Structure 1
């Protein structure tokens, strides 16, 4: 870990870097969107695990993986190569991430106990590989540029590519499963993941070639203890970190329950493709307009506007119940709000890093990004675990007509709990005040760099 200064600016153009940076999240979403949308359904309805087994699996894996996130952050902060600190891991993690994604969607013929062990090994391995490529995406942003507007553009580009990847998975997965499976969903999911994993792996190689850590580091060694002490007193980050639980918790509840809701509550499994496509394509509109809003108002205000739109869409869907028109309208409104909120979230993520350096003199980009990732994975774990528990409470049974309790459980997971979490997210972010202070903080940091 080191203190920062701008030592060199090399030749990669802004647009080349934007596309390279965005391609990493396209790669991530081709694989991880399969996990958030379909893995729980794959485990319960195809692989043959009980909902409660999946709940425990998700919880255990996320906790272990969350610890790995923090360790990954420390590793990034201690890394010094000719390629930079974060960039090397796009190269190193690409093949393991793709290979383990394929194995996660394979159904071995080894009996119930063997399958459960296999699921733990492959899902945990995939999650650790995801950490290896995903944490650097966040930690590298402060090193790509020190310009606040360019950070927003990079974050926006990243989100556009992410939504493209999510849209591809949302729209094409089930048709590909049917086409490639030849009547076998297990084979269909496996070969679909093979396609996405190969493309994702190649995209990570592309990212590695087309990003550059322009904001270089002075080799002033800082201990791990000093890095964690640098988090002390970073109130903007505390608020931001707590918000991650609620913001991403809402998202993961919806994603994991979508296919259940349209299959069993609405009785239109074909609509799962449509709504998943809306949830992937419409957010791009919110993402595209984010720079327009952020140049005219505080980032927190943009976040709140996106959250209100997201909540309004959820409310429409709750009252629509199984009315298809109402569900489609609500999903469009909710998706626009999510795109606006998520895009500005990734832009905001770098700002508490600068605040911490301004306050303590120590840059902890890797650790902060890792802890943020850890909290996000805790949110994913808790959402998955609680979803499974609620399905068990409702006596959910795979591939059969569901009871009224099971239908209620699915609706709670898909709409009601996400709406509550959005409200809590807005309450937490109402205490975030860094936007007003940030221009002066950035000015002082730049002055320090010139002095050095």
Structure 2
């Protein structure tokens, strides 16, 4: 039996295409800002603000401690939230403006002594990622499980989310460098570019808030929530084996984006000797392929299920990126292999949030505790820890290899730095997608899900969780 024959609790209606698009706009908006942070912020700090890679790496490494904690706290806050708009939805409204303003502040680094730059970067980076991004993204992810209990409809929300999210990265990553060049190729140009992007992000967040309503209400859960202690909730979460599987898989997709987004600008600039258009073309090629691949997933899901298409795709991603080793100095070959790799990445990227929705139902079946916000918050911890630690490791590796930071001036990098840039870009993605292959090979929830959802329907009919 495949997942589309799974019974739907509550006999819920199909979500409209407009609602799915509005939901996807939420992640488009988040990726406009977070795409800049994960892909281009290190380059901005080192080559435009003149901050050393050691300082950047230290900020990002220390920040992970606070960032991981904030996700767990936000998960608890969402579960306790009561408003006329629901639990998760109001946070999109409340946090949109602070998020956009703090994103602009990231690029107004003062030209002053190193210690003051460190504290400015530390404060603005944490306000944006630790506080405001968390306060939007955890509720936003949770919202999908509060809009519908249909596994198929959650898959469709995940697919629309991941079809539209890359558009945010295209805006932020592909178009930013040409726009920066147009505006003067200095620090002020980055501030102007970011201001443009956050205005667009704010509009999209408001569309998401208006169109996406919370419709899932479980009477047994509402009476039980106040009686479940935090310790018991955490024990249930940590004992959910499929939560750990999805956390790793979500982290893989994000870490891959951070490795490619961070290392590829350096690769194009110093190994392909082009810092104007090559990076934008490669990133655009990969991102558009991800969008097309995600759009094809609904047809593949009907026949093969989430786990099967994700596993085959992960294997394709490993093989395609390994093939880049055949001619690492060719831009044409880099473009071909990154497009094939993106086709492999697309299935897991498209359905991972649908998988997390299934994990919510599995957790309720296993422990009699429903944990929408904690599961998505826990997943976000992995994603942000993975991104931050990856960025910090890349910064430390570049520093150890003797990379020379600059502030708009042309420099000649030592051979050790060039070799490190090449190794990071080539071997990093291969490693993370091998991890995805192993986890997906062990993932069995798709087969168990129909029986689980049937039992939950019977329990809830009796007023039980």
TM-score (norm 2): 0.91
Inter-partner Cα distance in structure 2 for 1:195 and 1:442:
45
Aligned-residue offset at 1:375: 0.8
More deviation in 399-408 or 362-371? 399-408
Q: 1:154 and 2:174 equivalent?
A: no
- Structure-1 residue corresponding to 2:433: 422
Inter-partner Cα distance in structure 2 for 1:426 and 1:224:
33
- Structure-2 residue corresponding to 1:30: 32
Inter-partner Cα distance in structure 2 for 1:187 and 1:345:
38
Alignment of 1:296-335 (within 5 A): 296-335=303-342
Residue 303 of structure 2 aligns to a residue whose secondary structure is coil
Note if contact 1:87-1:208 (Cα within 8 Å) is conserved in structure 2. yes
More deviation in 111-120 or 260-269? 111-120
Q: Of 96, 117, 122, which residue of structure 1 is paired with 2:119?
A: 117
Q: 1:95 and 2:106 equivalent?
A: no
Q: Of 277, 289, 293, which residue of structure 2 is paired with 1:282?
A: 289
Aligned-residue offset at 1:13: 5.5
Aligned-residue offset at 1:9: 7.4
The 1:229–1:428 alpha-carbon spacing in structure 2 relative to 1, beyond 3 Å, is same
The 1:13–1:315 alpha-carbon spacing in structure 2 relative to 1, beyond 3 Å, is closer
- Residue by residue over 1:17-55, the C-alpha shift from the partner in whole angstroms, topping out at 9 and shown as x without a partner, is 212211101101111111112100011111111111111
Inter-partner Cα distance in structure 1 for 2:348 and 2:323:
19
- Structure-1 residue corresponding to 2:245: 239
Q: Of 129, 134, 137, which residue of structure 1 is paired with 2:140?
A: 137
Note if contact 1:65-1:374 (Cα within 8 Å) is conserved in structure 2. yes
Inter-partner Cα distance in structure 1 for 2:443 and 2:11:
33
Note if contact 1:240-1:432 (Cα within 8 Å) is conserved in structure 2. no
- Structure-1 residue corresponding to 2:4: none
- Structure-2 residue corresponding to 1:106: 108
The 1:273–1:61 alpha-carbon spacing in structure 2 relative to 1, beyond 3 Å, is same
The 1:353–1:61 alpha-carbon spacing in structure 2 relative to 1, beyond 3 Å, is same
Inter-partner Cα distance in structure 2 for 1:393 and 1:224:
42
Note if contact 2:249-2:352 (Cα within 8 Å) is conserved in structure 1. no
Alignment of 1:37-436 (within 5 A): 37-127=39-129, 128-180=131-183, 182=184, 184-218=185-219, 219-220=222-223, 221=226, 222-269=228-275, 270-398=277-405, 399-436=410-447
- Structure-1 residue corresponding to 2:5: none
Aligned-residue offset at 1:100: 0.4
More deviation in 139-148 or 225-234? 225-234
TM-score (norm 1): 0.94
- Residue by residue over 1:382-421, the C-alpha shift from the partner in whole angstroms, topping out at 9 and shown as x without a partner, is 1111101111121111342222211111112212122112
- Residue by residue over 1:254-286, the C-alpha shift from the partner in whole angstroms, topping out at 9 and shown as x without a partner, is 111111010001112220110111122110111
Q: Name stretches of at least 5 consecutive residues in structure 1 with no aligned partner.
A: none
More deviation in 438-447 or 189-198? 438-447
- Residue by residue over 1:298-326, the C-alpha shift from the partner in whole angstroms, topping out at 9 and shown as x without a partner, is 31111112212222221122322111111
Aligned length: 445
- Residue by residue over 1:314-348, the C-alpha shift from the partner in whole angstroms, topping out at 9 and shown as x without a partner, is 11223221111111101111122222220021221
Q: Name stretches of at least 5 consecutive residues in structure 2 with no aligned partner.
A: 1-7
More deviation in 370-379 or 393-402? 393-402
- Residue by residue over 1:50-87, the C-alpha shift from the partner in whole angstroms, topping out at 9 and shown as x without a partner, is 11111111111122111100100011111122211110
